[in-house]
Structure 1
């Protein structure tokens, strides 16, 4: 049945078993798949590979300028095709910003179930992605498309970064403060949306945060007070915090009550709107997380909530954190705030 042949409103999300970064493989599955991958040591110019689960690969061209390369794609998290394209493109470009880089071009990745989605809808998806790329100052220079069982869209993105400005997820320092630049709850909102329980203002808030480019990452990388960065996506705050802890060989402390939340996130999660990916996340990495006694389930579900096009998790010198938060807020990220610290200790996350 085509999108226009039914009297019922067509829902793009009805063609997908999951949506957004909630589609990502569970961390434990990904680790198992990558366990036999060959080491990158023979390639001395590969400065960042798969070793720490970082956001993008980085290749040293000449000792100063480096190439940043990434790819990200998923199934629709919303029904509006233009919004889907914008969210997917924003999410993909974020990986370059999270490494401290500046994107220079993108390639489109498209999979569509032929005969189920009208070409006008596909065109709107592509145009949404192109519009975001234009706002990032880059072209969509090509791409590839296939006939697939579910709708898929995303980008491969190429960027550049000075070698001195690379910010990995594995370079946090003991004594650092942790800053998160966007509110949490996108997965909760998407779960409510699929069941038609998300309010109009909640939907607008979700689109606003998921289409907000993490451009500030390129600026933060030039600041010597910023030691490590990563973007918070499908593994949630705890999962990406644990990557920082393990990569840096330190403990990450997260103050649960400091976590910035989308306006309706607490109310919705208390009503039971939780993604399946949230549970898979906890099952995968819960052994690396220490919780307070009697920690409420609703808070845990937000800490494991998969963020589609989430914010940056920034590890920085503690005495510069207030300045950096103010600068990030002024750059257009009003939810940015301190959420914790990096301390000496085992490579784990402690929620306090």
Structure 2
């Protein structure tokens, strides 16, 4: 197909009713869907399953090795096909890092409207995903394709971890400090992009953060005093912090003034560029968030903003904070201390 024909194609984001991790089913709806489902017997080798809404499943092979398995896919968050592929693949691979694992290989999940998009565009999406896999040092070893109404792309990512190094989202302890590896605001940026209001500098910031693999994960998992990790994605900081709190049976406290934001995210949110997923997130779990300060509508939107390929949220002992920040910063992440873990009823407080 000619370049002119490719340029005449519709914008990728115009073909999707949602984009990136904002496509996730709202937490409350997902809970309702899963409630009462019959669960199969769980073998003792399954070290991490569905019980704590963790980032990946982990299955023990022997005393020193366990398989980490995860899958993630979504509709376009950007219009550039190569960037879309990179973002989707990075997001999927990062779930392996969030468990403390090292990726081994990936399988591609591809659903495309083949009568709407050219083979060149679809190929560019796959090339973007392959580029992210190369950055992680892994091959795309296969996959599956379907003809679908909306463009969908993602990966099954398989990794390996020493069972002693598994860091689920359920290990936080009272007294721990919370560290966040990436700034918030990706959902805000994606809403602005879809409406033609994100400038070139903003787009560059969005691509930089969403295509940065969470490679500090395995090194963090091996640090003494690191007790829990998760990545902040479609349910926003509040949603994934609540999952950590519920898994550990502790109360998480977030200092909102310390939470890093992408440059320009607050101004864009104030201008009305907020995703529908942000509101759905708050409707699902807002009753479990105690606001110890006056939160504006913009603050609330940022707190619940769905992150695509978001940062790691780490719970660690106070004595380990310096080491955690050193690992992050040594790999180019401007991580920040954003709160603490206390005893008490499982939940989240924001002050």
TM-score w.r.t. structure 1 length? 0.97
| 2:221 is the counterpart of 1:218 | no
Q: 2:7 & 2:317 partners in 1: Cα distance?
A: 57
- Aligned position for 1:147: 147
Q: 1:202 & 1:104 partners in 2: Cα distance?
A: 33
| 2:351 is the counterpart of 1:341 | no
Report the more deviating stretch, 38-47 or 118-127. Answer: 38-47
Query: Partner of 1:323: helix, strand, or coil?
Result: helix
- Aligned position for 1:68: 68
CA RMSD of aligned residues (A): 1.5
- Aligned position for 1:170: 170
Matched ranges for 1:181-260 at <5 A: 181-260=181-260
Deviation track 1:101-123 (CA, whole Å, cap 9, x = no partner) reads: 00000000000012100000000
Q: 1:326 & 1:7 partners in 2: Cα distance?
A: 45
- Aligned position for 2:100: 100
Is this contact kept in 1: 2:184–2:307, CA < 8 A? yes
Unaligned segments of structure 1, at least 5 residues? none
Is this contact kept in 2: 1:47–1:60, CA < 8 A? yes
Deviation track 1:197-239 (CA, whole Å, cap 9, x = no partner) reads: 0010000000000000001001101112110000000000000
Query: Partner of 1:78: helix, strand, or coil?
Result: coil
- Aligned position for 1:137: 137
Is this contact kept in 2: 1:3–1:118, CA < 8 A? no
| 2:299 is the counterpart of 1:299 | yes
Is this contact kept in 2: 1:58–1:66, CA < 8 A? yes
Alpha-carbon distance change, 37 to 77 in structure 1, aligned in 2, over 3 angstroms: same
Q: Cα distance, 1:3 vs. partner?
A: 9.7
Matched ranges for 1:292-331 at <5 A: 292-331=292-331
Alpha-carbon distance change, 3 to 55 in structure 1, aligned in 2, over 3 angstroms: farther
Q: Cα distance, 1:292 vs. partner?
A: 2.5
Is this contact kept in 2: 1:3–1:10, CA < 8 A? no
Q: 2:326 & 2:224 partners in 1: Cα distance?
A: 16
Paired positions, count: 350
Is this contact kept in 1: 2:186–2:306, CA < 8 A? yes
- Aligned position for 1:351: 350
Q: 1:162 & 1:205 partners in 2: Cα distance?
A: 34
TM-score w.r.t. structure 2 length? 0.97
